[in-house]
């Protein structure tokens, strides 16, 4: 499958076929331990279930190819994947991270990472100048960005961020969960590590918690990351790894549909009298539109937010009125979700009180628009 496009690679899981049985679907290996050879070797490459498991191989191989990387490791969650990158740094290392990013990781960076001795500066990562002035050559070891970024979908110019990182002797890691490997290729733009919460679009069915890292090259940092996964036991369950590959087979169809519907929802509500603003990088008025149009291909993602004209009270009331949209957190599943973001993030949230985050699924676009229309009117 060397030259095949990503739609073919995902649909066929890289063309995997079992040599012995000719089965088209890779097996699930629940084994936690493996037989040692009589001469004391482990020639099959597997010894115990915490370092790795054969069920991880097909999804990790597919993600490596989709991101055009050198290697992939799956993790127990997106947070396990992300925090492993930071734990592979050393106390005292300086990190530049975005002000607008997934709140769970931002909170971890402000608490656990700081206690462990990492020094983190949060900057406006949608401005290349802010990234450039935040790095400390020789001291900054990592620039972490997320694009599009939760929950206002700001865009970071990944190629520019990569150049800044290189100039400072730092690495660039990109949380590409929302873009998926289909809409943005961070490694081709110069990133060193790509992170996914595979809980979202990669699995796509709201039934697996998983994470993944893809490396541009197999180097000493990557070795440390792999050792931390084993040491901390941050591994995926074999059933989850099996389900993840099954979910990824339809990634193209789901992402294409989510992008198309998100774009039409954004365009429908952008001038709506009950909506103060629609935040979506596919709209020309979004501050990240020009960069997104350059670095994303095939669509601007399935995530958008609306700011409800009547403020926080009206936003919560709107979410209370939906019937087709499901009032739940998370994103990237086949079913559309609506969420008053400030409520889940809690005290200290940077999300505006009037903001509803929308994760667009694969339902009928007219049903989703109609349901939001009636909910806005009822809350009005």
Ligand X SMILES: Cc1ncc(COP(=O)(O)O)c(C=O)c1O
Task: Tell me which of 177, 238, 263, 318 binds ligand X, using CB under 6 A.
Answer: 177
Nearer to ligand X, 216 or 331 (CB): 331
Half-sphere exposure of 98 (CA within 13 A, CB side): 31
Does 77 help bind ligand X (rule: CB under 6 A)?
yes
Nearer to ligand X, 147 or 321 (CB): 147
Nearer to ligand X, 214 or 275 (CB): 214
Closest contact distance (angstroms) between CB of 107 and ligand X is 11
183-196: string of b/e by CB count within 10 Å (b at 16+)?
A: bbbbbebbbbbbbb
Task: Tell me which of 6, 140, 147, 197 binds ligand X, using CB under 6 A.
Answer: 197
Task: Tell me which of 78, 204, 281, 361 binds ligand X, using CB under 6 A.
Answer: 78
* Chain residues 82-111 in contact with ligand X, contact rule CB under 6 A: 102, 104-105
Q: Binding string to ligand X for residues 273 to 312, with x set by CB under 6 A, is what?
A: ----------------------------------------
Closest contact distance (angstroms) between CB of 184 and ligand X is 13
Length of the chain: 380
What are residue 75's DSSP bridge partners?
Answer: 211
Q: Binding string to ligand X for residues 143 to 172, with x set by CB under 6 A, is what?
A: ---x---x----------------------
- 65, 171, 200, 357: the active-site residue: 200
Nearer to ligand X, 194 or 277 (CB): 194
Q: Does residue 175 carry a catalytic annotation?
A: yes
**Maximum alpha-carbon separation in the chain:** 75
Nearer to ligand X, 9 or 98 (CB): 98
With contact defined as beta carbons under 8 Å apart, do 303 and 153 qualify?
Answer: yes
- 175, 192, 354, 371: the active-site residue: 175
Which residues contact ligand X by CB under 6 A?
A: 77-79, 102, 104-105, 146, 150, 175, 177-178, 197, 199, 209, 211, 331
């Amino acid at each position: 499958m060397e030259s095949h496009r990503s739609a073919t690679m995902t649909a066929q899981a890289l063309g995997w076929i079992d040599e012995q049985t000719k089965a088209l679907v890779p097996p699930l290996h629940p084994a936690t331990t493996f037989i040692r050879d009589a001469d004391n070797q482990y020639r099959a490459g597997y010894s115990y279930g915490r370092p790795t498991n054969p069920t991880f191989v097909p999804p990790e191989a597919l993600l490596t190819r989709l991101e055009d990387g050198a290697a992939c490791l799956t993790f127990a969650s997106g947070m396990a994947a992300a925090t492993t990158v930071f734990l592979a740094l050393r106390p005292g290392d300086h990190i530049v991270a975005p002000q607008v990013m997934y709140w769970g990781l931002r909170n971890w960076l402000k608490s656990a990472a700081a206690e462990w001795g990492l020094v983190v500066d949060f900057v406006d990562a949608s401005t290349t100048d802010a990234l450039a002035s935040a790095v400390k050559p020789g001291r900054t070891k990592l620039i972490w960005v997320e694009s599009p970024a939760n929950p206002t979908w700001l865009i970071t110019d990944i190629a520019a961020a990569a150049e800044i990182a290189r100039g400072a002797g730092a690495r660039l890691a990109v949380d590409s969960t929302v873009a998926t490997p289909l809409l943005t290729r961070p490694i081709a733009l110069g990133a060193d590590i790509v992170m996914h919460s595979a809980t979202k679009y990669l699995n796509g069915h709201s039934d697996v918690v998983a994470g993944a890292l893809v490396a541009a090259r197999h180097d000493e940092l990557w070795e440390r990351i792999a050792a931390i996964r084993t040491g901390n036991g941050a591994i995926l369950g074999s059933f989850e790894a099996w389900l993840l590959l099954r979910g990824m087979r339809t990634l193209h169809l789901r992402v294409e549909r989510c992008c198309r519907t998100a774009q039409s929802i954004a365009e429908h509500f952008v001038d709506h009298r009950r909506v103060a603003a629609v935040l979506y990088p596919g709209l020309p008025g979004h501050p990240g539109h020009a960069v997104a149009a350059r670095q994303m291909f095939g669509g601007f993602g399935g995530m958008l937010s609306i700011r409800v004209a009547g403020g926080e009270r009206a936003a919560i009331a709107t979410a209370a009125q939906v019937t087709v949209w499901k009032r739940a957190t998370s994103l990237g599943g086949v079913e559309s979700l609506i969420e008053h973001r400030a409520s889940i993030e809690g005290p200290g949230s940077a999300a505006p009180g009037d903001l509803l985050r929308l994760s667009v699924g694969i339902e009928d676009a007219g049903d989703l628009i109609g349901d939001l229309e009636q909910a806005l009117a009822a809350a009005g």
